[in-house]
């Protein structure tokens, strides 16, 4: 069964919890269904409140849609202005309300500042 490991608390990003999940559901919905609430806002891919950093298994997620990618690009621009390019360099940022597990594998992620 596919699974996600997540660090739901930004204060303790090294502590991951593993959940078994259903394919094709969003990471947000699966976490919510299993009583692990994530930060969120619009749940439509446009506000960026549910941003996460995927630290493992990004290839097991469906590629970002245009709306998700546009939101991620805007977020990255904002973060680069605020913290510098190295803050986002090499990081796989996705939106939990849009990212769907499409392969039977594992995804490890944490909320992103
Ligand atoms: S909750 Fe707004 S983009 Fe995910």
**CB-ligand 1 contact for 48 (6 Å cutoff):** yes
Q: Which residues touch 3 (CB under 8 Å, ≥6 apart)?
A: 18, 19, 20, 21, 106, 107
Mutate to test the pocket of ligand 1, among 37, 41, 64, 78 (most ligand atoms within 8 A of CB): 41
Shortest-distance Cα residue to atom 3 of ligand 1: 45
Please state, in angstroms and as integers, the Cα–Cα distance from residue 30 to each residue in 53, 78, 97, following that order: 17, 28, 10
Binding site membership of 42 for ligand 1 (Cβ less than 6 Å) = yes
> How does residue 2 score in pLDDT terms, banded at 50, 70 and 90?
confident
CA 51, 90, 100, 109 torsion: positive or negative? Answer: negative
Mean pLDDT of the chain: 92
- Fold for 3-111, please state it: Ubiquitin-like (UB roll) (3.10.20)
Span 4-44, pLDDT tens digits: 888 877 777 788 999 999 888 999 999 999 898 899 999 99
What's the average model confidence in pLDDT over 44-51?
Answer: 96
């Amino acid at each position: 069964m596919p699974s996600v490991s997540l660090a739901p608390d930004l204060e303790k990003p090294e502590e991951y919890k593993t959940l078994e999940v259903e394919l094709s559901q969003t990471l947000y919905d699966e976490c919510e269904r299993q009583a692990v609430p994530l930060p969120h806002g619009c749940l439509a891919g446009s506000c960026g409140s549910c941003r996460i950093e995927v630290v493992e298994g990004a290839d097991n997620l469906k590629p970002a849609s245009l709306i998700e990618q546009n939101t991620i690009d805007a977020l990255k621009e904002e973060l680069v202005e605020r913290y510098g390019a190295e803050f986002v360099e090499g990081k796989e940022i996705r939106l939990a309300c849009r990212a769907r597990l499409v392969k039977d594998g594992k995804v490890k992620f944490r909320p992103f500042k």
